């Protein structure tokens, strides 16, 4: 890769020679891009914990050198950027990497004046909506995977594909690319992707007479295991979450719904059209019935599930009062942290729980094994909505740098995975696998990931209608069939432009 | 400014003399006063009048999630029709009325009881008064989280105590049950605001002349008679204001139901404000949420009218005299 910074240009060199040289360089670059860079870096068909381990640390990448091909390193410009970065609750290493990133960015592109705002996860969307109304948005924004489509459909985003910043589309998860595509046009680059996994307490499994080293293989097994644990030990089996208007609920219920063959729409299909609701098909009803059986019939899940988010499951889990739950890769670090804070007899219990924590694949159902494909995407705002105008070169330089195999991996250190699949081949991915427990398991769920429907109505469907359906059935306000039909009717009305 | 120059003499002229100057005349006459308050008026127009205008305007539009606000679609009164004909609106309205009336009545009665108790001299009265004020001064968000854990359906203190004392076999399901959730939240709300009623009524009790009580005692009135015929009539004004303020506050309640249940389970604890919030910020239905807010605004303005009437009743009587 060529670093233009500091290049000594000979004065008086014939212009014709320069033109020829640039033409050859351009052709060479294009040729390289088409033969090597555009080839997929990893083989998704082989994806497994062993494959992930086998490719980690096998290649090195020159981030600055690569980005110099996209935007010269001596480019002078201005950048404004909004994202959700490390918070007070984040592990120290996240803060450290964040600091390292900004230092590296400033060193690589010293002439790009950067104004970056780290905005709280729950405030970013609302703040962006408000500022875009006043044409005062940032140039570049990173949003949660479901957040971008609303703005793309409203015309706020520029067309943006990985190729625009020097990376092949083939090097990003197909599901992730689906999440940045609206109406056939690509409006962003996936920065990081993750899926959840099933976590269980092997000690509780053993005491309940279950195989301590095997998670429930199917969702029907989850119902059975949960009942067995509750009946034998008097504690909650599965950590059901069904709070209204909380993102935790669809992230935990949709895998079950998809596994039985249901869906909000047809998002689980290979080529979804997002036209009709699947919430009242047989698969969706079977999933809802399974939740009903655990909550109402067996009472084997927390009674507080209707007001709980996943945060409220952490305390009973670390106290040995909850046997299994769906959670992020970072849940292990959280439990270690909680155990570190415990004292006396609680400390003993917490340490036992941490020692007995196991990660496994999310159960499968009659139709498939599925998990929500999570992550974040980077977008460019259209110039007319950007305060102070849009600096295309600065934005591209930044997007190239952030989404490089190096920083795509480092910036997702504890909570996610690199959006750029080439990141899985870096030495930093190897270091993550060596130091973060269960990372290989959670990462191996990625091919089973299904993104939420990429339509502007998705937020309402997932955060309101799906939890409503669960609550209507679990409180017996409606029967399972009625709740499913009610939810499907609401989705149809919403897609038809109703209230 | 109206003038009577050249007008015919007689009864009509006398009426004209008594006629109040119109508002423009008054503004011109007192223009210096109005100039002084003009900056404040402009600020109020920007921060109060414009949002009200914009909310009313937005209530006549539909705001689909795939359109920018500037491209909103005119729908006339259909948002009002959608809201008013929605079954959830009817359910939430009933819940709002129950929430408001129960919270207001019980907060007032509890506050009245506390005020009457604290009106008498006894050892530790100051300490008790301070203790009873704690719920009012504590942050509503913090109180909601504390009560959420007290009520917790699996690990709540109240549930654990009820099991330990043998009142129930298993922890009581306060918040995850459609039948009990609203009542549970109302209890928290009463706990939070009865101190306000107490403070207001304690102030009112200071205005009751002691001579009247002594005279009533001389006349043989018992405790109830003294309360009903002497104390309570003097508290009518402050009671009216307290009840109206409580009602306005309760119609506008948000924090307790939002933090503790988010309106659930299955909408059973939604009240108007939480439902409007969900429509606006959960579902991006800005038009419908605005229509909903306008309806609530009309209700609040009606209550406000009676509040002002109650506050100014004495002034009108004095002016009439």
pLDDT at B319: 55
Residues of chain B contacting residue A303, judged by C-beta atoms under 8 Å apart? 153-154, 171, 173, 176
Q: What is the pLDDT of residues A28-81, one digit of tens each?
A: 334 333 333 334 678 888 888 889 999 999 999 999 999 999 999 999 999 999
Structure tokens at B169: 């076999």
Same domain, A106 and A202: no
Please check whether residues A89 and A189 belong to one and the same domain.
Answer: yes
- Contacts of residue A327, Cβ cutoff 8 Å, sequence gap at least 6: A196, A197, A199, A310, A313
Are the beta carbons of B208 and B231 closer than 8 angstroms? yes
| Class of residue A43 by CB neighbours under 10 A (exposed 0-12, middle 13-18, buried 19+) | exposed
Residue A230 has pLDDT above 80, yes or no: yes
Shared domain check, A228 and A351:
yes
Interface test with B, best of A150, A239, A244, A325 (most B CBs within 10 A): A244
- Indicate yes or no: CB of A303 within 8 angstroms of CB of B154: yes
Phi, psi of B301 (to 5 degrees): -65, -35
Q: Can you give the pLDDT at residue A45?
A: 83
Contacts B69 to A, Cβ<8 Å = 133
Does residue B265 have a cis peptide bond before it, meaning omega lies within 30 degrees of 0? Answer: yes
Cβ within 8 Å, pair A475-B153: no
- Tell me, yes or no, whether A30 lies in a domain: no
| A231 Cα to chain B: minimum distance (Å) | 15
Q: Look at residue B316 in the predicted model and tell me its pLDDT.
A: 56
The reply to whether A294 and A392 lie within a common domain is no
Is it the case that residue A90 has pLDDT exceeding 80? no
Percent of chain A with pLDDT over 70: 91
Helices (H), A342-461: 344-355, 392-402, 405-410, 427-435, 439-444, 458-460
- Alpha-carbon distance A184 to nearest alpha carbon in chain B (angstroms): 15
The reply to whether A377 falls in a domain is yes
**Is residue B109 one of the residues assigned to a domain?**
yes
B18 is a domain residue:
no
- Residue B2's pLDDT band, with cuts at 50, 70 and 90, is very low
Does residue A89 sit in the same domain as residue A132?
A: yes
Q: How confident is the model at residue B175 (pLDDT cuts 50, 70, 90)?
A: very high
Q: At residue B237, does pLDDT exceed 80?
A: yes
Q: What is the mean pLDDT of residues A222-229?
A: 98
**Structural element, H or E, at residue A201:** strand A197-201
**Chain A residues bordering chain B (beta-carbon distance below 8 Å):** 126, 133, 150, 153-156, 236, 243-246, 302-307, 315-316, 321, 456-457, 459-460, 463-464, 468, 471-472, 474-475, 477, 497-499
Q: Evaluate whether B114 touches B198 at the Cβ level (below 8 Å).
A: yes
Residue B55 lies in a domain: no
**pLDDT band for position B293 (50/70/90)?**
very high
Are A351 and A270 in the same domain? yes
> Closest Cα of chain B to A39: distance in Å?
35
For residue A75, being part of any structural domain is answered with: yes
> Mean pLDDT in chain B?
87
The interface pTM score, or ipTM, of the predicted complex is 0.77
Q: Is residue B281 in some structural domain?
A: yes
Q: With CB atoms and an 8 Å threshold, state whether B262 touches A307.
A: yes
Which pLDDT does position B318 carry in this prediction? 54
Provide the pLDDT for residue B109. Answer: 96
Residue range B104-153, pLDDT digits in tens: 999 999 999 999 999 888 888 889 989 999 999 999 999 999 999 999 98
Task: Give the whole-angstrom CA distance, residue A309 versus residue A246.
Answer: 7
- Residue B95 has what pLDDT? 97
Q: Are residues A119 and A189 in the same domain?
A: yes
| Of the candidates A192, A147, A426, A170, the residue with the CA atom closest to the CA atom of residue A328 | A192
State mean pLDDT over B243-271: 92
- Asked if residue B5 is part of any domain, the answer here is no
Q: What is the pLDDT of residues A307-357, one digit of tens each?
A: 888 888 888 999 999 999 998 877 888 888 889 888 999 999 999 999 999
- How many Cβ pairs closer than 8 A exist between chain A and B? 96
- Reply yes or no on whether the pLDDT at B271 is more than 90: yes
Mean pLDDT is lowest, of A29-33, A170-174, A468-472, B21-25, for A29-33
Do residues B87 and B173 touch, judged by C-beta distance below 8 A?
Answer: no
- Residue holding tokens 């680059």? A189
- Give the CATH number for residue B279: 1.10.3720.10
Choose the mutation target among B176, B184, B287, B288 for the interface with A, i.e. most A CBs under 10 Å: B176
Best of A150, A238, A303, A463 to substitute, by most chain B Cβ atoms within 10 angstroms, is A303
Interface contact A460-B261, CB threshold 8 A: no
Judged against a pLDDT cut of 50, whether residue A15 lies above it is answered with no
- Residue A27: the pLDDT is 41
Residues of A in contact with B171 (CB under 8 A): 303
The answer to whether B266 contacts A497, with C-beta atoms less than 8 Å apart, is no
Residues B195, B180: Cα–Cα separation, whole Å: 24
Which pLDDT score, from 0 to 100, does residue B19 have?
64
A51 within domain boundaries: no
Domain boundary among A416, A431, A450: A450
**Beta-sheet pairing, A77-83 with A112-118:** parallel
Name which residue leads in pLDDT, B69 or A246: B69
Return the axis-axis angle of helices A282-292 and A480-495, rounded to nearest 10°.
130
Which pLDDT tens digit goes with each residue over A387-431?
Answer: 999 999 999 999 999 999 999 999 999 888 999 999 999 999 999
Does residue A231 fall inside a structural domain?
yes
Percent of chain A with pLDDT over 90: 65
Does B153 sit within 8 Å of A302, measured CB to CB? yes
**The pLDDT of residue A311:** 81
Would A98 be classed as within a structural domain? yes
Examine residue A3 and state whether it is found in any structural domain, yes or no: no
In chain B, the number of structural domains is 1
A284 and A359 fall within a common domain:
yes
Name the pLDDT band for B212 (thresholds 50, 70, 90): confident
Domain range for A154: 58-194+373-450
pLDDT score recorded for residue B22: 80
DSSP A71: S
Sequence length of chain B is 321
pLDDT at A11: 36
- Alpha-carbon gap: B68 to the closest alpha carbon of chain A (Å): 5
Give the residue-averaged pLDDT of A374-379. 95
Q: Which of A330, A297, A354 shows the shortest CA–CA distance to A438?
A: A330
Taking alpha carbons only, the member of A494, A436, A473, A437 closest to residue A256 is: A473
Q: What is the dihedral of CA A226, A229, A231, A233, to 10 degrees?
A: -150
pLDDT at residue A49 in the model = 81
A142 closest CA partner among A116, A166, A168: A116
CA distance, residue A185 to nearest chain B CA (Å): 15
Which residue segment(s) compose the domain that B261 sits in? 87-320
Summarised one tens digit per residue, pLDDT across range A123-156 is: 888 899 889 988 999 999 999 888 899 899 999 9
pLDDT at A208: 97
pLDDT digits (tens, 9 = 90+) for B49-91: 999 999 999 999 988 888 888 888 999 999 999 899 988 899 9
Residue A24: per-residue pLDDT: 44
Query: Quick one: A76 and A215 in the same domain?
Result: no
As for how many domains chain A has, the answer is 2
CA distance B128 to chain A (A): 35
What the block records as the tokens of B45 is 């127009």
Assign B14 a pLDDT band (cuts: 50, 70, 90): low
pLDDT of residue B15: 53
Q: Kindly report the CATH number assigned to the domain that includes residue A432.
A: 3.40.190.10
- Predicted local confidence at residue B178, as pLDDT: 94
Confidence category of residue A254, pLDDT binned at 50, 70, 90: very high
């Amino acid at each position: 890769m060529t670093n233009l910074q500091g290049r000594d240009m000979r004065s008086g060199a014939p212009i014709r020679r320069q033109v020829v040289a640039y033409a050859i360089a351009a052709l060479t670059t294009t040729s390289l891009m088409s033969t090597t860079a555009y080839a997929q870096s990893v083989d998704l068909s082989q994806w497994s914990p062993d494959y992930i381990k086998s490719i980690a640390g096998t290649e090195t990448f020159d981030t600055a050198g690569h980005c110099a091909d996209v935007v010269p390193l001596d480019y002078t410009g201005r950048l404004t950027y909004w994202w959700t970065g490390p918070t007070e609750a984040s592990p120290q290493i996240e803060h450290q990497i964040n600091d390292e990133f900004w230092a590296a960015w400033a060193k690589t592109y010293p002439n790009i004046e950067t104004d970056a705002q780290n905005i709280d996860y729950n405030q970013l969307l609302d703040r962006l909506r408000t500022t875009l109304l006043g044409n005062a948005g940032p140039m570049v924004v990173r949003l949660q995977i479901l957040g971008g489509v609303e703005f793309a459909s409203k015309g706020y985003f520029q067309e943006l594909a990985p190729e625009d910043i020097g990376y092949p589309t083939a090097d990003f998860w197909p599901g992730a690319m689906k999440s940045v595509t609206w109406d056939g046009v690509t409006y962003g680059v996936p920065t990081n992707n993750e899926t959840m996994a099933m976590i269980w307490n092997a000690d509780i499994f053993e005491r309940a007479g279950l195989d301590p080293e095997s998670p429930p293989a199917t969702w029907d097994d989850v119902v059975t295991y949960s009942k067995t644990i509750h009946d034998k030990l008097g504690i909650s089996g599965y950590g059901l979450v069904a709070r209204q208007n909380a993102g935790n609920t669809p992230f935990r219920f949709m895998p079950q719904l998809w596994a039985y063959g249901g869906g909000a729409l047809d998002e689980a299909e290979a080529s979804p059209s997002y036209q009709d609701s699947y919430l009242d098909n047989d698969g969706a009803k079977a999933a809802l019935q399974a939740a009903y059986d655990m909550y109402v019939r067996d009472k084997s899940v927390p009674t507080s599930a209707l007001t709980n988010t996943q945060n409220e499951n952490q305390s009973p889990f670390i106290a040995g009062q909850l046997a299994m739950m769906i959670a992020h890769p970072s849940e292990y670090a959280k439990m270690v942290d909680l155990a570190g804070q415990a004292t006396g007899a609680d400390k003993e219990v917490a340490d036992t729980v941490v020692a007995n924590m196991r990660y496994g694949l999310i159960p499968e159902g009659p139709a498939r094994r599925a998990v929500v494909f999570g992550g974040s995407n980077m977008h460019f705002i259209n110039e007319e909505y950007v305060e102070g105008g849009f600096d295309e070169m600065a934005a591209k330089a930044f997007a190239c740098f952030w989404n490089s195999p190096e920083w795509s991996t480092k910036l997702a250190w504890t909570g996610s995975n690199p959006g750029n699949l080439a990141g899985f081949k870096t030495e930093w991915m190897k270091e993550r696998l060596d130091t973060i427990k269960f990372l290989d398991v959670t990462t191996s769920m990625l091919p089973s990931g299904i993104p939420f429907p990429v339509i502007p109505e998705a937020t309402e469907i997932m955060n309101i209608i799906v939890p409503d359906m669960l609550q209507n059935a679990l409180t017996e306000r409606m029967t399972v069939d009625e709740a499913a039909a009610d939810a499907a009717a609401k989705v149809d009305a919403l897609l038809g432009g109703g209230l | 400014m109206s003038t009577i120059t050249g007008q015919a003499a007689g009864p009509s002229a006398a009426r004209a003399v008594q006629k109040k100057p119109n508002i423009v005349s008054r503004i011109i006459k007192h223009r210096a006063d109005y100039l002084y308050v003009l900056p404040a008026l402009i600020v109020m127009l920007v921060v109060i009048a414009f949002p009200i205008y914009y909310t009313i305007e937005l209530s006549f539009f539909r705001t689909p999630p795939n359109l920018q606000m500037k491209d909103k679609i005119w729908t006339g009164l259909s948002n009002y029709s959608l809201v008013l004909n929605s079954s959830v609106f009817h359910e939430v309205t009933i819940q709002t009325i129950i929430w408001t009336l129960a919270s207001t009545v019980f907060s007032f009665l509890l506050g009245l009881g506390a005020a009457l108790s604290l009106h008498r001299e006894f050892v530790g009265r100051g300490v008790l008064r301070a203790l009873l004020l704690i719920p009012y001064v504590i942050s509503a968000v913090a109180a909601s989280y504390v009560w959420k854990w007290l009520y917790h359906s699996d690990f709540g203190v109240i549930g654990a105590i009820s099991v330990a004392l043998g009142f129930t076999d298993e922890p009581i399901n306060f918040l995850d049950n459609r039948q009990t959730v609203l009542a549970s939240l109302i209890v928290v709300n009463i706990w939070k605001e009865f101190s306000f009623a107490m403070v207001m009524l304690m102030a009112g009790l200071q205005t009751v002349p002691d001579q009247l009580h002594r005279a009533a005692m001389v006349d043989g009135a018992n405790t109830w008679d003294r309360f009903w015929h002497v104390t309570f009539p003097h508290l009518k004004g402050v009671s009216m204001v307290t009840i109206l303020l409580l009602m306005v506050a309760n119609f506008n309640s948000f924090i307790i139901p939002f933090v503790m249940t988010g309106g659930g389970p299955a909408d059973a604890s939604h009240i108007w404000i939480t439902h409007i919030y969900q429509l606006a910020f959960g579902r991006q239905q800005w038009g419908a949420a605005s229509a909903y807010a306008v309806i609530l605004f009309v209700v609040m303005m009606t209550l406000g009218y009676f509040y002002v009437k109650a506050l100014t009743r004495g002034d009108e009587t004095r002016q009439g005299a």
